[in-house]
Amino acid sequence: MRARWRTAEGALLILFAAAVWFSIALSEITFLTALASRLARAASGEPFRPRPRAVFVTALILAATWILAGVFSPAPADSIARVSRLYQVFVVFLVAEWAADSRWAERAVFSTLVGSAIGAAAGLVVWLQTDRPRMLGVFSTGMTSGNSSAMGLVGAVTAVAAWRTRKRLVAGVAEALDGFALLATLTRSSWLGAGLGILAVGTRPKARLWAYATIVLLVLTVVAVPRFRARGEVIGDPSEITAKGRISLWLTGWELFKERPILGWGLQDHYALIEAHRRADATFHAGHFHNNVVQVAVSTGLVGSLAYAAFHLALLAALWRRRGTWWGLAALGVWVAFEVAGFFDWSFGDAEVAYAFFLWMGLGSADNQEQAGGLVDPA
């Protein structure tokens, strides 16, 4: 009975690994059911010791500091309620525990690549039937879909390098679909994040050829497709309208941070706050600051920002120790992609993006021994 219970729980997480790329509802159902199952097993005598320990400790500190910021914010009830979204961090620990079995980890990676391919294909099919210049994808915005495709692409590139025969073919299909979907979102921050994440994967000799070839193909596609090329030509142009808008938002954020530097304004929607401090050079309206660091600084002040930095550095340290394994290497590239893209968006607060990010953090930080005949060490 207990063995069947565990098997069902593992299967739920395999399904979750696919669902994060195309359905937030299915992601929530599968993850929360698996988490409830694991906590029930813990209550019945199977201890649940979240690993990596440093990540768990910093996650607790992060939650505590953000709750503290909410208590002293202008809207405490709303702010504290939003901290509850940090339950998604438990994806890291639940997946890392299961991925200690390298065979399960490989099945989960296969599932996540199939899921990312499904999400990318669905988004492209809808986009190609419309006259929209920008693909929104299966999620609500092009930025969300772009961030999702960027992480999926980094994982797919690593899997193509790691796998052989038919599994490599599946990974290649996912890579092609994620790559084109990423470009179709016209989300330049995700382009940059994916590019640097793939280059991080390419730091290992056995992944270098595939990483560099992917970068070349992406660049050639941008050059060849007029709408992609037009978007690429304004990367780094501070006078471009959305770039001007972001810079204006960041300056507004700096002024707000100076008013409440210790614990910030809380995690509530900041539309009214931004509107009340709107600068003359603003080019669009927003409810957040389009930058993870600025958003956290304004919302939770210096205290919450330090906790946020500690949490992400703990993740990086856990992945760095595992960079000699394929999924540790993939997760390291995903970490880079997420952090770079998050410099231009509030991606840590985006449930779809956060789920995909935490999934890869769990897969990459798991303490396992890769089986003979399975994945090879990229070192």
pLDDT digits (tens, 9 = 90+) for 132-184: 999 999 998 999 999 999 999 999 999 999 999 999 999 999 999 999 999 99
Q: Which two tokens stand for residue 228?
A: 């992609």
298 close to 79: Cβ distance less than 8 angstroms: no
Q: Which two tokens stand for residue 113?
A: 């690549």
pTM as predicted:
0.96
Around 53, how many Cα atoms within 13 Å sit in the side-chain half-sphere?
A: 1
Domain ranges of the chain: 53-98+238-322
155 close to 112: Cβ distance less than 8 angstroms: yes
Q: Which two tokens stand for residue 356?
A: 């995909």
DSSP secondary structure letter of residue 269? -
pLDDT tens for the chain, 379 residues: list them: 788 999 999 999 999 999 999 999 999 999 999 999 999 999 999 999 999 999 999 999 999 999 999 999 999 999 999 999 999 999 999 999 999 999 999 999 999 999 999 999 999 999 999 989 999 999 989 999 999 999 999 999 999 999 999 999 999 999 999 999 999 999 999 999 999 999 999 999 999 999 999 999 999 999 999 999 999 999 989 999 999 999 999 999 999 999 999 999 999 899 999 999 999 999 999 999 999 999 999 999 999 999 999 999 999 999 999 999 999 999 999 999 999 999 999 999 999 999 999 999 999 999 976 533 334 444 4
Q: Which two tokens stand for residue 207?
A: 């992944």
